[in-house]
Structure 1
Amino acid sequence: MSLPSFWRLTPLAAALLICTETHALELPTQVVTGNPLGSEQLASPTTVLEGDELTLQQKGSLGETLNKQPGVSSSYFGPGASRPIIRGQDGDRIRLLRNGVGALDASSLSYDHAVPLDPVNVERIEIVRGPAALLYGGSAIGGVVNTFDNRIPTEAIEGIQGAGELRYGGADTTRSSAGRLEAGNGAFALHLDASARAFNDLKIPGDARSRHAPDSDDGPSRNGRLGNSDGRQDGGAVGGSYTWDDGYAGLSYSNYDSNYGSPAEQDVRIRMQQDHYAFASQIRNLQGPFTSVKLDAGYTDYEHREIEGGETGTVFKNKGYEARVEARHQPIGPLNGVVGAQVTRNEFSALGEEAFVPQTDTTAGALFILEELQATERLKLSLGGRLEHTQVDPDAKGNARFAGADQSNTFTAGSLSSGAVYTLTPIWSLAATLGYTERAPTFYELYANGAHVATGTFELGDANLKKEKAVSSDLALRFDNGTHKGSFGVFYSHFSNYIGLLGTGRTLNDEGEEDPTGIPEYEYSGVRARFAGFEAQDHWKLGESAYGKFALELSGDYTRATNLDTGEALPRIAPLRLNSGLLWELDRWQARIDVEHAAGQGRVPDNESGTDGYTTLGASAGYRFNVGTSQWLAFVNGENLTNQTVRYASSILRDIAPAPGRSVQVGVRTTF
């Protein structure tokens, strides 16, 4: 009798679960993203998620995995797709990286397009909040999310090591298996990983549709379920490298395949495939003008099919490459720094009846420099700049809808950034940043013209858009006295030209003609805008006794975003959020209880609906044990235990797709 499909493992995952040799891989705690000089403290606010914390926070999508981190919300489009939003900024303002290199997909084009990555394969996630365009380009004007998977090992591996995981449950009845195997002889290292995830239609409290939801032709929705929200994800990779005392060089190949439903369209499935090839190398301890040189490159072939009623309606394709080199120079007096270059090219096409953007090739090249100065014993300064040239070449391919998209656009964008970290006392320090950033408009902001069925809007680009420009600053007070560790920070960004997708008040039919029964028109427009807010967090060690160690985690964030041309709020901004967690550890046991409160969001544009506030309760517990030389963690994780109706203000589907209801998931993870 065969096993149920949700317990079937790939051969690799099965091997990982029965191997019990050697030791677990240890990851460094130092932040890598935006930190080529290896500074112990960065001026920019950062968050690192790894280890048990990453395991318990892990969801099927990157956006949901990071949704509870300070300043990060989710573009939630059901369990199949979501992208992280940082401080109210989304799309091509948030740079998604794999091991420091951009992975081309179509997730920024539409909210129903998933990020082709299963977080189960990720060992570490770093978030840089605020502009990071200096090193990563204009598409990092809002922040960076960098995932690390060690598919190209950067350190020597001796013997065999790896990890495996199984989990079951949750509001969507997830069935997930994953495994990783690494082996080496101290010089050559090999990496293999594989994963499979399947999930059912999401359980929700009550009706999927809110009182603000428009009338639907899909018929009555099922009470207690989010229709057409089931799906699956499969992935795997093979990589290897050669390591030596002063560097490494390696290659990897990974594949991602998924099929999931769109809650916005009950008969639409999305089939996504991506092949990604990567090369990475670093040489250290060089003689001459540069002490080290690092090269990263990746090539991606991505395809996304929207299948309606069993027939393929629209096919999105995106293929291209990105390569970057960073060279650290010898100290020049008190200055330490890096210089670098980056080239990117992607070829995008959308074919089918529902294609609302033309075929477009985008090519970009950039030069950048970053310098650090230890000005005094207490004060460290940083200063850098970037110059980037982008060319966008559309091709209407005879489609009359895109007849106006026949002329190339070129943009030269410049960015400057400065930062300072001042140590007030051994406990207190101040961190500040000030930067000017420019971003070239994307192809869809320039040339979109058509009904976007997934979002229920008619989108219009503007081929005459100018560069997006912003001046941004951060100021944070950080503290660590052994009992309390945390920070309180404020941020402010002023856009002299913010490219927003804004409602015009008109309704159009599929042909772009005014029709009172049609869908709302949204246009990419350049407006003046302001983003401001705060982020706070504290880890408070309450004490230790015979009953275990206790700690309290507190955090909160708030973003206020305004269209300065109209005085209206900008759309899809998360409200004030407050989180508290009580932690407990005793010997091999660990547990926590979490309470999250989100205020109602009534500050919205005139043509959008707000959301009600909510308070949710969560709890988790874990037990560590050893089997031979392998380490195991068995865990249970409960979320929204009081079964509250939760609608994310940051989701375009907030009125028809609430967040999960009561959820309990169990799992086991091993490392060896």
Structure 2
Amino acid sequence: MLIAVSAAAVYPSEKPNVIRNLQGVVLDNETNEFIPGAVIRIVEMNKIYSSNINGEFLIPDIEQGVYTFEIHHLAYLESVVKIEISDKMVKSFVFYLVPKSIEINPVVVTDYKSFSKFDDLQELSNVLKGKELQKELGLTLASTLKNETGLAIRSMGPAPARPVIRGLGSDRVLISEDGNKTVDLSSSSPDHAVTIDPFNLSRIEVIRGPKVLLKTSTTIGGVVNVIREEIPTKNHDHILGSVGAYNETANGGYLGSMFIEAPLDDFSFRGEVSKRKTFNLVTPKQTLGNSYANNFNYSFGTSYFTRFGYIGFSYRDFDLNYGVPGGFVGAHPDGVDISLYRRQYNSKIHITFDGVINNIEVNLNRVLYRHKEFEKSGAIGAEFRILEYLGSVQANHSKLSFFNNGTFGISFEHRDFEIGGYVFTTPAKATNLAVYLYETAVYNKFSFEFSARYNYDSIDPEFKKIDSKIGEIKKRTFNTYSLSFSTVYELTKIVYIGFNASKSSRVPTIEELYSRGPHLAAYSYEIGNPNLEDERGIGLEAFVYHKFRDLYFNLNVFRNDLSYYIIPRKTDEINLQTFLPVYQTYGLPALLYGIENQIDWNINDKITLSNTVSFTRGNFKGSENSLPQIPPLKGKIEARYNYSELTIAFNTEWAAAQPNVDLLEERTSGYIVYNSSFQYSLTNENLVHNLSINIDNILNTEYRNHLSRVKSILPEAGRNFRFTYKLYFNY
């Protein structure tokens, strides 16, 4: 069970050691709704308080020191939290309680993080967790996230799918596990898969705004961070875990999975294993050939806990074999088969302090990624190998002068990239060094966030050549910086308006600089540009959100103006040796703008209506040409009925036609697809059974995803029944 706990609003009193009017709120970890009637007990004082109808509570006075808070509610798991009360604490005090029907493990949390209006907005709009996460679980991370506001799915068959944020893909969207960058080639080409199985995730966050600069320099994109706590961060006093199974009919796929976490004195051990197998996808027209996938992955981790923190280690082995469909001009009729694996070692040291510095965290990772693309004859058409080392040292502080809390740190990344087969891109080594800063502040009704990041990048090709056909192949170095600033103003207790401005940067990848040759699985002959500059632009965003007990409303308007946008564009040329269409990489000025809206309305205690709308428009500046691969206007409308442990939902996914396309890009028509879901939870002492049944595309509608590279062959999946079962245990 993951509990986020945030520090409280405090004001120094006449007595220097006494804090008066300590205020807080208790929220549902799954829905973010207020929890009335929660009992808050301070163990050392043996005093008891309770939350009102708005989940709020007030502690009139308390001396500074470290206290143990016990939070109880009949419908939720107990939370036990140690918090240091001091006059340096920030202005929000929030406890999250996990419903008993979702998880079954009470947790002792020994530290806290700040909670601000930005965290509130992030939690409400950009987090998938609990029952909602189980309902949306799909074959890939992208299919799990496809209906989140502002997100779309780029695909080339079911297995190689990746999330797109506001029309931006590739490495403008960084994917991470427990905060560690996921190393694979999914950002470089649409036929490459993301090496994450979503089944055992406890939470998925889509991070935007200033916090993005803690991980990447691209502020106009975002970070998709999945959480499973592979390195245990808490030492439970009991054994906990889950066993699960998944099946869907559109591809005959099935999955079995298990994870367990167990304590032994000052150690905690975690293990996880899953196996998935899917067959060719059935569409309303016919079966999509060579769209199978087989995946096996496992991990284990351990942490040793001391009074000053913990030190941990984990290892993950991810193996995936999948097919990329054929049928395009220049491609094999039966497509291409891809085999890949990722072997990753992670280590972490987390040290806590009493004082301005709350904690320091050190991360070190080693990743080996191997990827082979096979023609149907068995010959290797392309081969890639990455050996990557990543590390960071990061400190989190509490109240410091004007700032309430913040983070600063340094990171490094070194990639050794090797290429084989019939790909003529030069091998290369890439090194990144970065320093970053993130700070928050509050002044009256204003809340502020600010972040900055400086990057040094060096990309050194193994084979240098002055007179290459694509230009001079030489070592490139880049010095870039990114900035981001956000503010939120409290109009009323339930209505907030905000603004974000950012300066974004991105260094071209090895493939964008030096590619030259056929990429059969992607149906393209790719030509890089060794003279590319760093991608850069200015992002602006305004938003308003309204939150009270029965209604949440959020509206965002954004504009990303890029003076230099790196993009591969399909040309009208065909490589005569391979008969593949030529894709050339350019750096051009571009403009993306759009609007997003999310509404959740609790009509009564049992019925909830929700609606999401996302629209992005992209153009090359100075011309009437549209950017390629921009999702159309799309949305989702859903009605949910909740009764005790039963939830029944009916929704419609819809998209408008996309006539705004780049040269030689195919237009798509609009569609409406109807879906339904059924969820039930049964609690039995130390066991919780969660069952989800989904029916997707009830009417077997023929529709096409504009961001799919196989849309010209066949539509998306037909009618699909998905069954998900999870048994949580706690002993």
SS across alignment from 1:158: coil
Q: How many angstroms apart in 2 are the aligned matches of 1:130 and 1:356?
A: 38
1:221 maps to none
What is the CA deviation profile of residues 367-404 of structure 1, one whole-angstrom value per residue up to 9, with x for unaligned ones?
1112222122x111122211100000112399997895
Deviates more, 1:338-347 or 1:306-315: 306-315
Deviation at 1:80, TM superposition (A): 1.4
Contact 1:106 1:318 in 2 (8 A): no
What SS does structure 2 have at the residue aligned with 1:583?
strand
Amino acid at match of 1:407: K
* Counterpart for residue 3 of structure 2: none
The CA deviation at 1:456 is 2.0
Matches within 5 A, 1:7-406: 24-25=104-105, 38-39=115-116, 41-42=118-119, 47-129=126-208, 133-139=212-218, 141-185=220-264, 187-206=266-285, 224-264=286-326, 265=332, 266-287=334-355, 290-308=357-375, 309-329=377-397, 331-335=399-403, 336-353=405-422, 355-376=423-444, 378-396=445-463, 406=473
* Structure 2 contact 202–228 (Cα < 8 Å) conserved: yes
What do residues 322-357 of structure 1 show as CA deviations (whole Å, max 9, x unaligned)?
11121124633222332210101111111011x152
Give how far 1:139 is off.
Answer: 4.9
2:729 counterpart of 1:668 = no
Residue 314 of structure 2 aligns to a residue whose secondary structure is: strand
Q: In 1, Cα distance between the equivalents of 2:560 and 2:335? A: 41
TM-score (norm 1): 0.88
State the 1:647 CA deviation.
Answer: 1.2
Supply the AA of the counterpart residue of 1:126: E
Partners of 1:475 and 1:139 lie apart in 2 by 18
> Within the alignment, does 1:542 sit opposite 2:599 as a pair?
no
**2:459 partner amino acid:** V
Q: Is the 8 A contact 2:336 2:520 kept in 1?
A: no
- 8 Å CA contact retained: 1:451, 1:510: no
CA distance in 1, matches of 2:120, 2:681: 36
| Residues 442-477 of structure 1 deviation map (CA, whole Å, 9 limit, x = unaligned) | 111111111222222222111111110110022111
Name the CA distance, whole Å, in 1 between partners of 2:105 and 2:660: 47
Contact 2:178–2:227 (CA under 8 A) maintained in structure 1: yes
* CA distance 1:457–1:44, change in 2 (3 Å): farther
Superposed displacement of residue 140, structure 1 = 5.7
Q: Does 1:523 align with 2:599?
A: no
1:234-276 superposed Cα distances (whole Å, 9 cap, x missing partner): 1000001122454222000010011111113524211111101
Give the CA deviation at 1:24.
Answer: 2.4
Name the SS for the 1:150 alignment partner: coil
**1:14 paired residue number:** none
CA distance in 2, matches of 1:232, 1:254: 17
Displacement of 1:129 after TM fit?
3.9
Would you say the 8 A contact 1:104–1:319 is kept in 2? Answer: no
Q: Is the 8 A contact 1:137 1:388 kept in 2?
A: no
Would the aligned equivalents of 2:564 and 2:590 in 1 still touch at CA under 8 Å? yes
Read off the aligned partner of 1:668 and give its amino acid letter: Y
Q: Aligned partner of 1:501: which letter?
A: P
In the aligned structure 2, how far is the partner of 1:389 from the partner of 1:341? 12
Deviation at 1:416, TM superposition (A): 1.1
2:690 aligns with 633
Q: How many angstroms apart in 1 are the aligned matches of 2:670 and 2:316?
A: 41
Is this contact kept in 1: 2:303–2:311, CA < 8 A? yes
Paired with 2:494 and 2:560, the residues of 1 have a C-alpha distance of 29
Structure whose alpha-carbon radius of gyration is higher: 2
Residue type matched to 2:162 in 1?
R
Q: Which of 635, 638, 650 pairs up with 1:593?
A: 650
Q: Whose relative contact order is higher, 1 or 2, with alpha carbons under 8 Å and at least 6 apart?
A: 1
Aligned to 2:681: 624
- Distance in 2 between residues matched to 1:384 and 1:398, nearest whole Å: 39
Q: Aligned pair 1:484/2:484, yes or no?
A: no
Q: In the aligned structure 1, how far is the partner of 2:509 from the partner of 2:449?
A: 30
| C-alpha contact 1:157 1:187 (8 A) present in aligned 2 | no
Counterpart CA distance in 1 for 2:379 and 2:289 is 19
1:481 to partner: Cα distance? 2.1
1:189-211: CA deviations, max 9, x gaps? 100000000011001011xxxxx
CA distance in 1, matches of 2:538, 2:153: 24
Is this contact kept in 2: 1:71–1:557, CA < 8 A? yes
Give the gaps of 5 or more residues in structure 1: 1-21, 207-223, 512-517
The CA deviation at 1:107 is: 0.9
Amino acid paired to 1:314: A
User: Do the aligned partners of 1:186 and 1:243 also contact (CA within 8 Å) in 2?
Assistant: no
For residues 122-166 of structure 1, give each alpha carbon's deviation from its aligned partner in whole angstroms, at most 9, with x where no partner exists: 111100246755212235641110011111111121120001111
Distance (Å, rounded) in 2 between the aligned partners of 1:280 and 1:341: 15
Contact 2:134 2:724 in 1 (8 A): no
Residues paired across the two proteins, number: 617
